[in-house]
A and B are shown apart, each in its own frame.
Chain A
Amino acid sequence: GENVEQHPSTLSVQEGDSAVIKCTYSDSASNYFPWYKQELGKGPQLIIDIRSNVGEKKDQRIAVTLNKTAKHFSLHITETQPEDSAVYFCAASTRGFNFGNEKLTFGTGTRLTIIP
Chain B
Amino acid sequence: KAGVTQTPRYLIKTRGQQVTLSCSPISGHRSVSWYQQTPGQGLQFLFEYFSETQRNKGNFPGRFSGRQFSNSRSEMNVSTLELGDSALYLCASSLGGTGQYGYTFGSGTRLTVV
Whether chain B is bound by chain A comes out as: no
Residues of A within 8 A of B (CB): none
